[in-house]
Structure 1
Amino acid sequence: MSVIRSLVAGCGAYLPQKVVTNADLATKMATSDEWIRQRTGIRQRHVAAQGELTSHLAINAAEAALADAGMTPDELDLIVLATTTPDETFPATATRVQAAIGMHHGMAFDVQAVCSGFVYALAVADNFIKVGQAKSALVIGAETFTRILDWNDRGTSVLFGDGAGAVALKAVESKGDKSDRGVLSTHLFSDGRYHDMLYVDGGPSSTGKAGFVRMEGREVFRHAVTKLAQAVDAAIAQNGVSESEIDWLVPHQANLRIIDSMGQRLKLPPEKVVVTIDRHANTSAASIPLALAEAKADGRIKPGQLVLLEAMGGGFTWGSALLRW
């Protein structure tokens, strides 16, 4: 029986021009390059310029993804933008992207699942395509996360950066087995009991201000290892694949030790795990599509290969996606 799959037709990325190194941060707070790198794997991060908005980053990534796919805005039915740092409380930042790229039809909206946002947005777009409500989609992760950092808190401010990544999806008819190209499955989870371990201490209905990131780092690390394993196992089990069949792990870029632990769990050599955290830091919803775009552009990810995505973020939210390139 044939099924409809969401094929990744193109990828795009955008990083702000300004680069802030660990050494730069060490001149402003009690930290050092060695302290940051040993605990996180981060060497530098990109920071949006004054007046550079999340929508600006997203527009650049979206246009790059469309160009890579050889698609025009007229061919798009849907934009799903994952972000924790929208331009405004409303409307959705996705609609600003829609207008800027010249898409005057279809639908555009935001998804908020923090660092799991891209996996959530991919699942939403994939479901629209599978049921026939869209034949194509742009899935974007975009963040100006440095705008919600308390720069007096070295436990969080050294971890994050700004950026945007996007993928263009096209509906394709497939056989309905694991040999199909496209998104094979997505797996989403959340548990609101863990709110206080990773959150922002503000919002329109609470303080009337954006607030700052607050995190219990050790607890988040502990939960990430177990919850990401749950998401990865779900993807492997549903599709009847073995760990040895996975060609690439493209994880959320939160902490190099977490990334390494997931690669080891899957028995993947380090060269089969896409790592960008050293140069990008944690860009929240943008981290996976940025990593995908890089690995496609440099030729690492090739058509027909099996790619596993995983992420965990505040809420807690977590999830995975398995796709054949």
Structure 2
Amino acid sequence: MRWEGNRESDNVEDRRGGGGGGGGFGFGGRSIGIGTVILALIGSWVFGVNPLTMLNLLSGGGGPVPQVQQGPAPAPPASDRQAKFVSTVLADTEDVWGKLFSAQNASYERPKLVLFSGSTPTACGTGQSAAGPFYCPGDKKVYIDLSFYRLMQERFKVSGEFAQAYVIAHEVGHHVQHLTGVSDQVENARRRGSEREGNAMSVRLELQADCYAGVWAFHANQARSILEQGDIESALNAATAIGDDTLQRQSQGQVVPDSFTHGTSAQRVRWFKRGVETGDAAQCDTFKTRQL
């Protein structure tokens, strides 16, 4: 991925060394990060319990989350290459979505990206590294512990900077959903429906965020030629590795479609490809299509 020399965002807070979540890579009515899924898989293997039980424990089991006030954190040091990378990717999403919103006579509110290690307070509760990257609508911030990228490579055998950028673009996709009111509509519908219906809505929300990540890639490449050979494949590998069916098959040897909250590997690949091939956010309406 070509990114060096491009603009870096100044909307990055560095809380590393100091002490979650909202829609991340959801479980039931609560969203969690993809790292929590990984931790649940490991726990299920070690303790011999159902990974869905582990997920429920790790995601807090429901209940209200406290609102917190967090002061501004410093920007990351200029010498930190990985922080420079995520700052550049964030800037790229700002440029793309700013133009797309402007084309619809709307104003794009840029989200903050918070770098942390271990845990950090958020408006959605305490964010944990185990939750992986996540978006909190309460404070409109994307949170990431950069050690997650090492976990991607070691656990899922997914490498490449564009695959890492896809993770950030997916979370920014949740921010776009928040700004457009989609997230609130889904959350209200989940409260009224059954767990099965809530899971189905969560799948559509996550697949739309995947599609939005593809839309970003399309426009960023048109404007700045960021893509190199193998980049799209690395992102597709990441989408495949975190499909609900793939994770369930690895952890429990069987697939339970009614418990899906993010979509199958094939669905995640399909919707990311739709975004990256069309560049049209209107093509990402997962809520009006019958066939995901």
Q: Please tell me the TM-score bracket, short chain as reference.
A: 0.3 to 0.5
Structure scoring higher RCO (CA < 8 A, sep ≥ 6) equals 1
Give the TM-score taking structure 2 as reference length. Answer: 0.33
Q: Which has the higher strand share?
A: 1
Report which of the two structures shows the higher radius of gyration computed on alpha carbons: 1
- What is the TM-score of this pair, normalised by structure 1? 0.30
